[in-house]
Amino acid sequence: MIVKRILLITPLIIIFLLLQSFFWVPKFDEQFLGHGKRLTQYIQGSIGDAQILNPILHADSSSGTITNKIFDGLIDRDRDLTYRGRLAKSWKIIEEAFFVPNTKTNSAERIAKKIQTAKKNLNLPWLNNITSIKVIPPKRIKVSQNSSNQNKSIEIFYPKRIKLTLKKVDQDLFDKIRNNFDEKFIEDDYSSFKKGSKKKKIKLTEHNPIIIFELRQGVKFHDGHEFDAKDVLFTYKSIMDNKNLSPRKSDFEPIKNIQIINKSKIKIRYKRLYSPAFGTWSIGILPEHLLNKKSLKKELIARKINKTIFSLRLSKFNRNPIGTGPFKFKEWKSDELIKLERNDQYWEGPPNYSEFIYRIIPDSLTQEMAFYTGTIDSYGAGVHQVNRLKKDKRFQVFSGLSFGYTYIGYNMRREPFNDPRVRKALGMAINTKQIHEFILNNQAEDITGPFIKQGPHYNKSVRPIPYDPKQAIQLLHEAGWKRRGGVLVKNGKKLSFKLLTNHGNDIRKSIATVIQDSWKRIGIAVSFDTVEWAVFIKKHINQLNFDAVILGWSLGLDPDLFQIWHSSQTKKGQLNFVGYKNKKADELIVKIRQEYDLKKQIKYAHELHQIIAADQPYTFLYNSKWTALLDRKIAILRKSKNGQPTAKKITATKTGSYSFDFNKWIKFPTTPSFESKF
């Protein structure tokens, strides 16, 4: 009897050992940690390793995940997406505006006095926004002229100018001055002059938005050194240093200068209106005392590196970072794990987890099995797994919409895509609901425009293009395409083109098959091809060499769409590769990136959304959903009124972020009953 049991059990053991050897990552030396310690560790799986642990240099999501825990920015967003202070405890945004007055009939002093009088006598909000009016004497000023990747400057002689200081930014200030005074108070916007054989234009009116940050005092880097304004200035200078090759440089290029008022106060002046500027200060702040010229020179000498090639990008700091964040760097084993430990001196209070471990598991199936066995704490489910895993009581399930969308982009430089009726007809011929249901397992929603659906800039009143093949054929007839023998023809030419997408994306390939069939049903001859990603971008997208493509955009909360949709960005290598041009859309895009008033910005965004939806330069296919699973034993640890620790359920933010309260999480020995004692 015992022998029979052994014979029955042995195959099961063999199968288990085979599965274990197949799915296990043998290098992960923390897998046998005691149960007690495992409760204070959070282990996250990742398909890829980090590349560089420096907030101003990284360009991959893995590095971003780690640096966000090691470094703090001046600001970030709260649960309601409103900006909140981090290393900055408060701030104010004001403006200094300059213009050259027209002195043909009045002196600069007289014009300034007229504005001052109007301010006293007229109860106009835009005049009440002005806090001071000054006449600036004639002056020679160096004006930066960006050339390639170098900052060059030219010297301009300005006559007397009037400086207006405003309580808040007003992008329409100069138009208001022109419209509310009889005389021409302001000289023409541009003044031309010759420099060598070239003619230059200089803008005579100038908007200088200013952010004044009041910094949090007593915050310390992980090595005990106190954070102050010098670290903010140093971080900016490091971003702008060409040798460092920071991918964040364009975000900070609009800065004119930074002034340290004292160790806890800093003033940042911008060259021009640029409302996304404020959000850029969520970037992690570097420690000046560890990375200044003296420190880097010392490292250069110690490591015997050629000084002509050495920069912050090559510093050992990038594999042993020190920030002010909730976790300290502890260990990095390439392609295996990155280990962080709790910062017990964190200014906001230490996290509950004593360790954060980022475990590299390149295979998604192995990562799934690691989650089931409890060696990682979270898992991102595929579309085919969602319905099954949602029912599993061992896990907490979080889902939401991704920050982006998938679309068909049409090359509007080519026929027939230069006709909006054709573009609309192509969209109406596609049943996107079928794509959502049968290809994406209902893990997608309709999207109608260029903004993320979770944000206020998305215009919910714009309805999706209806699925209506008959109406699509009617629109094509109106555009001159007549159906003959089941094929659409115009001027003796068949309506035919090629649809492209990148190789290796099975979902896009399946979608392309559905689209191809839908268009053939209404008489369009469509060929389809996939191209390896690097070739697809280099030879087709960047060279504008395509008819129609299936692609996607990953976006952020920032509503600035200049690079993707402005008509100035339609050249080779630029992001408006479909060639979309609309004068009204251009005006709104510029207004959005210059508007600091959120309500006005949203109004402009809704108008832009309507225009793009009407023009249909893209057929917007879907906004995909994501689903994440978390061990049900993980919850927020909080204290009840009597001081006893209790468990609170983890909830997601408006954007679907379930890890917002990560520093308050802890793993309980058993699945907690929420608001019950620990």
**Average pLDDT of the residues in 596-613:** 96
146 pLDDT band (50/70/90 cuts)? Answer: low
pLDDT mean across residues, the chain: 88
Higher-confidence residue of 557 and 639: namely: 557
pLDDT number for residue 675: 52
The Cα–Cα gap between 260 and 282 comes to 19
194 pLDDT band (50/70/90 cuts)? Answer: low
For the cut 90, the answer to whether the pLDDT of residue 342 exceeds it is: yes
CATH 3.40.190.10 for domain 42-72+298-400+627-667, yes or no, is yes
Share of the chain above pLDDT 70, in %: 91
pLDDT number for residue 32: 39
**Average pLDDT of the residues in 594-605:** 94
Sorted by where each begins, the domain ranges of the chain are 42-72+298-400+627-667, 101-204, 404-626
pLDDT digits (tens, 9 = 90+) for 507-533: 999 999 999 999 999 999 999 999 998
pLDDT number for residue 310: 86
Here the tokens at position 568 are: 């100035």
Query: Considering only 123-127, 461-465, 654-658, which range has the smallest mean pLDDT?
Result: 654-658
Share of the chain above pLDDT 90, in %: 67
Q: Which of 31-35, 261-265, 377-381, 504-508 has the highest mean pLDDT?
A: 261-265
pLDDT number for residue 581: 97
Instruction: Decide if 69 contacts 326 (C-beta within 8 A).
Output: yes
pLDDT number for residue 3: 37
Cα–Cα distances (Å) from 342 to 75, 214, 336, 345, 678, in that order, read 21, 27, 20, 9, 21
pLDDT number for residue 149: 44
For the cut 90, the answer to whether the pLDDT of residue 556 exceeds it is: no
pLDDT number for residue 13: 42
**Average pLDDT of the residues in 214-222:** 98
For the cut 60, the answer to whether the pLDDT of residue 18 exceeds it is: no
For the cut 60, the answer to whether the pLDDT of residue 27 exceeds it is: no
202 pLDDT band (50/70/90 cuts)? Answer: confident
Query: Considering only 73-82, 180-189, 365-374, 469-478, which range has the smallest mean pLDDT?
Result: 180-189
Here the tokens at position 514 are: 């559905």
Higher-confidence residue of 62 and 424: namely: 424
pLDDT digits (tens, 9 = 90+) for 223-268: 999 999 999 999 999 999 999 989 899 899 999 999 999 999 999 9
pLDDT number for residue 148: 42
pTM above 0.75, yes or no: yes
For the cut 80, the answer to whether the pLDDT of residue 594 exceeds it is: yes
Here the tokens at position 500 are: 């492209």
Strand pairing class (161-166; 130-136): antiparallel
pLDDT digits (tens, 9 = 90+) for 425-468: 999 999 999 999 999 988 899 999 999 998 899 999 999 999 99
pLDDT number for residue 173: 94
144 pLDDT band (50/70/90 cuts)? Answer: low
**Average pLDDT of the residues in 267-285:** 95
Here the tokens at position 135 are: 């006449």
pLDDT number for residue 513: 95
Q: Do 42-72+298-400+627-667 and 404-626 show the same overall fold?
A: no
DSSP 293: H
pLDDT number for residue 356: 97
620: Cβ–Cβ under 8 A, 6 or more apart, which residues?
405, 407, 427, 446, 447, 448, 449, 464, 465
pLDDT number for residue 16: 44
pLDDT number for residue 655: 82
The architecture that CATH gives domain 404-626 is Roll (3.10)
Query: Considering only 48-62, 621-635, 639-653, which range has the smallest mean pLDDT?
Result: 639-653
Q: Secondary structure of 463-524 in the HEC alphabet?
A: CCCCCCHHHHHHHHHHCCCEEECCEEEECCEECEEEEEEECCCHHHHHHHHHHHHHHHHCCC
